[in-house]
Structures are given as structure tokens and as C-alpha cells.
Structure 1
Amino acid sequence: MFRPTRRAVLAAPMFLPGLAAAQGFPARSIIWIVPFAAGGITDTSARTLAQRMGSSLGQTVVVENRPGAGGTIGAEAVARAAPDGYTMLYGSQGPMAAAPAMFPNLRYDPQRDLAPVHGLGASPHLIVSGMDRPWRNLQDLVAAARARPDGLTYASVGVGTSPHLAAETLMQATGIRMIHAPYANGTQALNDVIGGRVDVMWDYPLTSLAHVREGRLRALAVTDAARVRLAQDVLTVAEAGLPGAEAVPWAGLFVPARTPPESVARLAAALREAMGDPRVQEFFDGTATVLWPRMGTAELRAFLAEEVPRVAGLIARSGAKPG
């Protein structure tokens, strides 16, 4: 009867298929799935990081857009992918935290089927409205909403997305209600706010600030605890008299569950190195995004442990249903 020697026992793990693959990782291109349309802040952020990560990894990182259903289509694709480190997800509040609370038949479980790699960062919203609207600040908007319960409208890019969650945060902090107008994409939503067909929108500074500067939109407040460097004249929601209405969308890098830890660590190191590149930092400064170079795998997991139930409670109180 064969009895393995101590040397054989110690050497045996080296021949496990998963570990052997991880040691040579990466040996080919990596697909980074962005679950939103091309051209938005998520897409451009991923492409900026992908190029720098590719240099660190010695392989091309290919960004692939799979939009739809509030980011859940792309998230499901990664959840079902082979756990080998060659498929990554640009995960955010919607598909990672809001979707489980909103979709009872969701075909993936973010905490069971996806593994955290590293935090990416957070970018606040600007609360913007058309120049034809009578309100000049956030308090005016809240007063108008109180005077017309369910009379004002706000745009978003879908139920459970960060603009929708940010709007719900304000409404729950103030007790007002507005009618949700979900759109297929942010450009169309923003155009309808500019054109006066919708009253207000929570949008990223990257896409709305140019319209503010050119006089097509009015910025009522920023949803962070601190002012945005690119728009120092815009008050925070607390400065505008509404503390508790802060809402800052976040993003992180995820892979399929059961991806070898060595591959996860390699991806995390490449992302952290990319975030330290001055050119990458310059890009994100221009989008008003605060990068998270210290939010590693364990830190992101701990963050999600608090964030997922917080978002679930927000959705439950809102009564929001999938569109």
C-alpha cells in the first residue's frame, strides 16, 4: 500500500490544477465586464484603469460592456464565468447591493457568487435641475416637493441604480415624495432635465458640470460630505441645510467566487499599482472620484458587510419595485 512521504505531501499541492494555473497567472488576456453602456463614467474609468493594469500584468485587459437591467446582466455573466481570474466585474451599488433587495428572482447572489478583489473609489452626485425651474437651491426644491406631493419628477438610469438610491436618500431624509422617471441611459435622462421634461436629476459631475458651466443646468447641491474640487461653489447637502441626505456611489473590482487567492492577489496588486499612477490619478481627479488604494480584499469585504444591509433597508423603506 502506497504511503506518501512527508516530501510528497508537501509537494502535492503544487500539482493541484487551480494552484498551478494561478502560479502562471495571467497567461492570456483578461476580460473586464462593465455592466453599463459605453461612454459613461463607469466605462471610461474602467478603460483608464484597464490600460495601466495591463502593463502591470503583462497581458491585455479588455473592457467589455454588457449593459441592462440596472447592471445585473453583466454581474450575472461574471458570476457564471469560470473562476480562473480571467473575467472581472466592475461592481457598484446597483448590482452588488441594491439588486438582491429588489429582485426576488435574481439569478446570482453577489455575496455567494462573486468575490471581492479591491475597492475602486467613490464619486458623489450633483443634484441638478433645468434653468427654467423656479427653485434656486436645494431648500427651494424640497419646499416645492412638499407643496406638490408626488407632483415633481426625478430622472435616473434605472431602479436600484445609484441616482435612484441617492434620490431615495434625500426623500427619506426630508419626508418628501417625487415621481421616479427611469431612463435607459444617462444622456437621454440629462437631456430631458435640460429640456424641462423632468424636474431634477442626481448625476455625476463628469457629465453634468459642463452643462452647469454653460448655463443649461443649475447645480443645487453635491451629495458628499465635502465639496467637489471641480465645483467649489456648489454646497454640500449638509451645507444646504439637509444633513443626512449624503449619498456617494462607490465601485469595486470583483471576480467569480472560488477564484484562486493567488490570482485575486495578483489582480488586486495590479489595480493598486494602477491607482498610484499620476496619469490615472489625474483622470479620476477630473471626474471628482476619490480613489481607494487602501481598500484591499478584506477591507472591501468588510465594507460590503455594512453597505449591503444599509441599501436593502433604504429600498425596503422606499417600496421600490423593479420596472
Structure 2
Amino acid sequence: MSQNVYQFIDLQRVDPPKKPLKIRKIEFVEIYEPFSEGQAKAQADRCLSCGNPYCEWKCPVHNYIPNWLKLANEGRIFEAAELSHQTNTLPEVCGRVCPQDRLCEGSCTLNDEFGAVTIGNIERYINDKAFEMGWRPDMSGVKQTGKKVAIIGAGPAGLACADVLTRNGVKAVVFDRHPEIGGLLTFGIPAFKLEKEVMTRRREIFTGMGIEFKLNTEVGRDVQLDDLLSDYDAVFLGVGTYQSMHGGLENEDADGVYAALPFLIANTKQLMGFGETRDEPFVSMEGKRVVVLGGGDTAMDCVRTSVRQGAKHVTCAYRRDEENMPGSRREVKNAREEG
């Protein structure tokens, strides 16, 4: 790290540049450009290496944040990637979509007066760069146990389970009804926040580790749970939370009222070329006046998706004030910028 103890004053927080607004509003691609090597090193150098790192404690998985910031600053990308994977199965995803302003960056010692360290963007840089340079998890020391586990669901929980089991010598076979891994990471989060190539690359990495995926396979239809229970040493259920919440409002089942998740999932599948299903029909907001009820990240995803579909006007309605909106402030800002 820098010998300048006032580096955080001399060098202010810098976020990656966003793509031009007129492009953002029509494209389903990530809006943030990646850090360059120089930017990542400089921003990582702002870390104070606190004796009691609040960023690490606020992180739900307690990532070793100051440690891999130091490695990133020193250009030791493979070591930084290895360290970030010790606590996180999908660090390149978390770097993109975690609400850092409410978690690690919100707890950064520098946050109030000098601007928090750009932890999320550096996490993204570390792992994207490591993958680009050929880094892959080292499985050479793993001793196979001869055990095998069926995992139902290829979302974050199922993938984390498969990752840990595989690293401990257990054969993991993952079943999912969708044509790609990721669950709501792939089909629920729009591509302007998480491009789908990220999860395609992750599937290739997991496959190289020895994880087996059986996609387009629905348990109960294509394979029976009783068969899995008899053929495997254990079965892990990671089926996710696809059931939408209802508001209990009058006429909420009327024509023109749509649940958020089916709307987002169908739009993503349409863009990926998978088509629509009866349960998740594609709905276009082109030329329509749209009201989105809610103030969380899913609501912002619906707002921004509607804008990109060509809606005539989009309004977000929330029962409390903006300060109490449960989603990321970054996403609220992006939604407002895009209209």
C-alpha cells in the first residue's frame, strides 16, 4: 500500500464511468465501465486497513475486504481472487449487484467525510481480471470422498452448496428447470445490472471444477424426488423464492396489472432467446403509461426495464419517503436518471 497516510484525502473516491444516458435507456447491457488497472490500484490504496474493519463485519459473508484491497493495490490479482473466493462463491456477481452503500461501503470509516472506498467495483475488477488472465480455482489438492449429492436449484444457494461440496471432494449434481444456471441472478436481475455472460462464464468455471449441471430438468416432472433420494447420498433443496407478494389491493388481478418477477423473468428470457412460457408470458410496456408499486431493488428493475422497453411514462409509487426506500440508493439514482 502507499506510504502516504493521507492518500484518502489526496485521492478522492472515483466510481467507474457510466455509459451515455441515451445508450443506457435503450440497451440491456451493464451501464458501468470496468476499472482500469491504474484506477483499481489507486482506489484500493485509499483503504486505511482499519484495525477493526467495519466493512468486513457489515458484509453478510464477512469477506476479507481490507486484505484483498491490499493485494489488488499491489497487483497480486490471482492471490486477491483466491482470497475473495474463500468467503464468497460468486464474488464477481456481488461486486456488481450487492447494495454496497448499505453494507460494506456504508460502514467504511471514510464514508461520511471523504467518500467510502469503492469496494464493490474493486471486487468486480479483481475477479473479472483474474478470470481474463486464466485464473481458476485450484482443485489439485481435493481428495474425492466417493459421495454424491443432488442439488435442486441452480440459484445462489444451490451454487454455493455445490461449490463447497466440490471443494471437499463430494460430487455435486445440480438440477434446474431453467436453461441456464443462476436462478434469479440470471433471469430475475436485468442485464443492465448483471450481464448474462457473467453467469455463462461461471457455469464453465464450475463445470471445470467437476460440478455437473442438468438444466431444463424439473424435479417432479422430468425426474422424481424419490429417485434422487435413493440414488444420492443426500439431496439439497435450493428452490428459491419465486412466489410474488400480493399487496391485498382492490382489483390487483385486473387486466394490465402484472407481478414483478414474472415480468422481469419473461423479459430476460426473451432477450436471451429462450421465448416465453405460460406462467411467465412476455409483456411489453412500449408506448404505455406505467406505475410501479414498491421502493426496493425489484421495483427499480421494473422501472428501468419499462423505460428500455419504450414506455411512454414511468412512475414509481412508494408508501414512505425516499430515505426509507429499502433498495440500493445507487439503483434509485440510476432509475431517476433514466427517466
Does the alignment reach a TM-score above 0.5? no
Which structure exhibits the higher relative contact order, with contacts defined as CA atoms closer than 8 Å and separated by 6 or more residues?
Answer: 1
Q: What TM-score comes out, normalization by structure 2 length? A: 0.23
Q: What TM-score comes out, normalization by structure 1 length? A: 0.24
Whichever structure has more strand as a proportion of its residues is: 1
